[in-house]
Structure 1
Amino acid sequence: MRLDDPVVLDLTGVMDKAALMDRCAVALALPDWFGRNWDALADCLTDLPEPVTLVVTGWQTYARTHPREWGIAQDVFATAVDERPTHLSVLLALGEPREGFPEDL
């Protein structure tokens, strides 16, 4: 698993599928043809030109408010990893930043 220069997919503030797709498109520099749907995301993840370690942060609120969509997103990520295990790793950052808590501890 590659941990050098991970790509961070920050889902903080994402409240719907469209915003999640937009964040994926930007974080992963997906091609213009990316259709912003689950099938297109799956295709893009398995067609990434270089090995990628994707670290997903700030996902907890989206997961709580849209559990079905989050489940689909997890399935898409997991399937892409299974199809190209040496090309894609997806890590979920645990915990949520606490207000007023120093980030550099």
Structure 2
Amino acid sequence: MTHATLAEAVRSAGWKVLPLDLSGVTDKDGFMDRVTTVLNLPKDFGRNWDAFVDACGDIGWGPAGPGRLMVVIGWRDFAKAQPEEWENAQQALESVAGRQQEYDSTLAIVLAIV
């Protein structure tokens, strides 16, 4: 029997999977640079945590059903280098997921430990 990864399992159920690779990111500016590119955020968004959450509310996450999964990988360097900012990043990601629920949309965010 083969073991499917979480991403493979949810993808086979029709979910969209979005990897967010934070490898090499060690600070807030690096995080903002990476998410701007990966999530295709507007280049002129405010680059603070509240602006990040707001900008993510405007993303065409498609498809809304049955759901979306963001898999955050390579985050440990950021967490080690700036634990307080990493805590802020986690809270912002949690807000993004919660905000999607307000629109009857499912977004799950997981931190991969690899």
Tell me how far 1:8 sits from its aligned partner. 1.3
Tell me if structure 2 keeps the 8 A contact 1:11–1:23: yes
Tell me if structure 1 keeps the 8 A contact 2:26–2:79: no
2:108 corresponding residue in structure 1? 89
What is the one-letter code of the residue matched to 1:44? A
* Higher relative helix content: 2
Q: Where in structure 2 are the equivalents of 1:2-81 lying within 5 Å?
A: 3=11, 4-51=15-62, 52-81=68-97
TM-score, normalised by the number of residues in structure 2: 0.72
CA deviation map 1:23-76 (0-9, x unaligned)? 000110112332222111010122222344211100011111111000001101
Structure 2 unaligned residues grouped into runs of 5+: 1-9, 63-67
Tell me how far 1:87 sits from its aligned partner. 4.1
Tell me if structure 1 keeps the 8 A contact 2:72–2:111: yes
What is the one-letter code of the residue matched to 1:64? K
Check 1:87–1:13 CA distance in 2 against 1; reply closer, same or farther (3 A cut). same
Pairwise CA RMSD of aligned residues?
1.7
1:99 corresponding residue in structure 2? none
Which deviates more, 72-81 or 49-58?
49-58
| Equivalent-residue separation in structure 1 for 2:34 and 2:43 (angstroms) | 14
Question: Quick one: percent identity of the two aligned structures?
Answer: 37
Length, aligned pairs only? 94
| Equivalent-residue separation in structure 2 for 1:87 and 1:34 (angstroms) | 24
What is the one-letter code of the residue matched to 1:18? D
Structure 1 unaligned residues grouped into runs of 5+: 96-105
